[in-house]
């Protein structure tokens, strides 16, 4: 679950970095301003706001629901693997207790069967871990896409040039609280999610 939060933060930081790069590269390509332009006088029409990524992940109901579902899937996978492992250990112990009473051929056949089951158990563990990672990636993408689509519309409606992602220890060291739109964004995101 920490991976989901980390992945979401990384994706948000990358998106902000790309936006900055696109903005500054497009400014270099444009023609120099002439006359009494707002950029020449030192003011700008650029409007920036930010969303606190930690608060967003802590309070966005879709994220909390997906986190709970992922936790349930993880618990289920762990229980399934633990059950299979207990069966294997039981069979291995029974084999050790009865091995002396078996013929060499039967003993070798049982050993081979136990080795195959152990390999299958390791494959099951890898499969379950892979399935969980794949599902976690899909959930992260779905959450990110939902937030991304909403923030793009929100930026247009509120005439914002940038919406940054702020996280303690992230790429933005300071953000003036007057530009924090997290509560409003959370209210609207959670309202849409409930529908």
- Using the predicted structure, report yes or no on whether residue 175 has a pLDDT greater than 50: yes
Residues constituting the chain: 195
pLDDT tens column, 61-105: 999 999 999 999 999 999 999 999 999 999 999 989 998 888 999
Note the pTM of the prediction, 2 decimals. Answer: 0.64
Q: Which pLDDT does position 27 carry in this prediction? A: 44
Mean pLDDT of 36-47: 53
Percent of the chain with pLDDT strictly greater than 70: 77
DSSP, residue by residue, 96-143: HHHGGGS-HHHHHHHHHHHHHHHHHHHHHHHHHHHHHHHHHHHHHHHH
Mean pLDDT of 36-60: 72
DSSP 3-state assignment of 172? coil
CATH class of this structure's domain 2-15+47-194 = alpha beta
Residue ranges covered by each domain of the chain: 2-15+47-194
Residues 31, 29, 152, 179, CA torsion sign: negative
């Amino acid at each position: 679950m920490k991976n989901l939060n980390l992945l979401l933060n990384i994706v948000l930081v990358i998106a902000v970095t790309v936006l900055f790069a696109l903005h500054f590269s497009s400014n270099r390509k444009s023609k120099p301003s002439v006359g009494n332009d707002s950029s020449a006088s030192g003011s700008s029409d650029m409007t920036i706001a930010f969303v606190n990524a930690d608060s967003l992940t802590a309070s966005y109901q879709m994220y909390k629901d997906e986190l709970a579902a992922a936790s349930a899937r993880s618990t289920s996978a762990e229980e399934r693997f633990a059950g299979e492992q207990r069966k294997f250990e039981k069979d291995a112990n029974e084999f050790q207790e009865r091995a002396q009473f078996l013929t060499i051929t039967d003993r070798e056949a049982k050993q081979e069967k136990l080795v195959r089951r152990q390999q299958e158990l390791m494959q099951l563990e890898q499969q379950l871990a892979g399935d969980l990672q794949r599902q976690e990636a899909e959930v992260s993408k779905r959450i990110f896409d939902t937030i991304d689509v909403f923030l793009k519309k929100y930026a247009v409606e509120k005439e914002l040039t940038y919406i940054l992602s702020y996280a303690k220890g992230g790429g933005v060291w300071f953000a003036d609280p007057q530009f924090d739109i997290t509560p409003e964004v959370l209210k609207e995101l959670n309202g849409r999610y409930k529908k």
